[in-house]
Structure 1
Amino acid sequence: MSITIRDVQEHELDAILAMNNAAGSGILPMNQAQIRYFWQNADYFRVAETDDCLVGFLIAMTRDADYESSNFRWFKDHYGAFVYVDRIVIAKGQRSAGIGRLFYADVQSFAEVRAPALVAEVFMEESTHPALLFHGSFGFHEVGQHQMPDSPLRAAMLYKEMCSYPFVQATYGSQLPAVPWLQGRRRPAADARRATGT
């Protein structure tokens, strides 16, 4: 089975929303406005595709995102620069195919040239213990816990140091080489601002 990880396309948002909302209790549900927000603002929004079918997605934001998630704000209150994994969803029936590992290798490649840390949270329920093990196997460690406001959900806040970042920063600063694999996602919101001159 061949798996492709690539940037999301706008016509795929409805399918991604349905996949998210069918994922179970470990993933917060979304609505149309939220998926549209991610389409316009996420620094990293990629999908996994196999045999022309979407089988997963991962959304991540840098620290300077204008994002209201209480989990995201927890990391902003505690750390400087980072890349925050907001959610990773793998379609049912595809969860033992290694797609999550491919996504994390890809998002780490994105993060390690942009920030000193990759961060995420996992809800502390029995059903999410495999997710905690998964993140631990990638080198994440717990740096705190966060009780979401107006919710019974408590999250384990996870942190992974990006060991390559000091070298990248010392060598290139904020001016990364102009090669395709280092280019960030072309966000529609940014494209619209450029088109209007704002």
Structure 2
Amino acid sequence: MALAIRDVREHDLDAVLALNNEAGTGILATDRARLRHLYEIAHYFRVAEQEGRIVGFLIAMRQEADYNSPNFRWFQAHYESFVYIDRIVIEQTMRGHGLGRIFYCDVQSYAEVRVPLLTCEVFLEPRNDQTVLFHGTMGFQEVGQQTMGQDGPKVSLLARELPSFPFVRERYLEQDGLPDVAWLAERQRPADLRGVSA
């Protein structure tokens, strides 16, 4: 019953796609091509695996990502530096056991040594008080609202300041950079490896 949080692998994508599209109204359905694009551009893309089965995932990216989501673009227009949580999905049988909090703590540990803000959105239509409350207890504050497209749902745009970042910036990022240790390494994205010969 051990649970592992690890970087996604290419062979996980079919399971991730199925999990995404079974998640219900709180997550936008996607297709193989769009998920492949997320796989290539995401700075953070981790899965939860239990007994060889993918039971959750979280996808996030930094401000320079080539991503046309209207919510991501809103944050690009308003903030210089951030990590944006695009989506988190937890399998139905695993909900309510703290896996969402584990993912949020993990993505925060990625973000807080790189940027001052962690951002995301939650749907306000249909109303989901559980999701809104979850983000509030994780320290997020509403910084805006918008409607996705002409007929899309209304969303609340959320941000959380990362209090560790000023220390990391002054001590490391403005000096010699982050230490060369495994837990601080960037994800090796397929987009990063294009044009690199062995």
* TM-score normalised by L of structure 1: 0.95
Determine the structure 1 residue equivalent to 2:119: 119
1:80-104, Cα deviation, whole Å (9 max, x unpaired): 1000000000011110121101100
Moved more, 142-151 or 41-50: 142-151
What secondary structure, in the 3-state scheme, does the structure 1 residue paired with 2:54 have? strand
Q: Partners in 1 of 2:34 and 2:152 — Cα distance?
A: 21
The partner residue of 1:189 within 180, 188, 191 is 191
Kindly indicate whether the alpha-carbon contact (under 8 Å) linking 1:57 and 1:90 is maintained by their aligned counterparts in 2: yes
1:73-126, Cα deviation, whole Å (9 max, x unpaired): 001111110000000000111101211011000000000001000000000035
Determine the structure 1 residue equivalent to 2:179: 177
Determine the structure 2 residue equivalent to 1:27: 27
Kindly indicate whether the alpha-carbon contact (under 8 Å) linking 1:26 and 1:127 is maintained by their aligned counterparts in 2: no
Kindly indicate whether the alpha-carbon contact (under 8 Å) linking 1:145 and 1:157 is maintained by their aligned counterparts in 2: yes
Determine the structure 2 residue equivalent to 1:53: 53
Determine the structure 1 residue equivalent to 2:16: 16
* TM-score normalised by L of structure 2: 0.95
What secondary structure, in the 3-state scheme, does the structure 2 residue paired with 1:150 have? coil
Q: Partners in 2 of 1:127 and 1:12 — Cα distance?
A: 31
Q: Tell me whether 1:158 sits opposite 2:161 in the alignment.
A: no
1:12-161 correspondence runs (5 A): 12-161=12-161
CA 171–157 in structure 1, closer or farther in 2 if over 3 Å, else same: same
Q: Partners in 2 of 1:186 and 1:147 — Cα distance?
A: 34
CA 132–193 in structure 1, closer or farther in 2 if over 3 Å, else same: farther
- Percent of aligned positions that are identical: 52
Kindly indicate whether the alpha-carbon contact (under 8 Å) linking 1:108 and 1:118 is maintained by their aligned counterparts in 2: yes
Q: CA deviation at 1:127?
A: 4.7
Q: Partners in 1 of 2:167 and 2:42 — Cα distance?
A: 26
Q: CA deviation at 1:60?
A: 0.1
- Large movers: runs of 4+ above 4 Å: none
Q: Which runs of 5+ in 2 are unaligned?
A: none
Q: CA deviation at 1:194?
A: 2.2
Q: Partners in 2 of 1:119 and 1:44 — Cα distance?
A: 13
What secondary structure, in the 3-state scheme, does the structure 2 residue paired with 1:195 have? coil
Q: Partners in 2 of 1:106 and 1:35 — Cα distance?
A: 21
Q: Partners in 1 of 2:179 and 2:48 — Cα distance?
A: 26
Q: CA deviation at 1:3?
A: 1.6
Q: How many residues align?
A: 196
Q: CA deviation at 1:158?
A: 0.5
Q: Partners in 2 of 1:148 and 1:193 — Cα distance?
A: 35
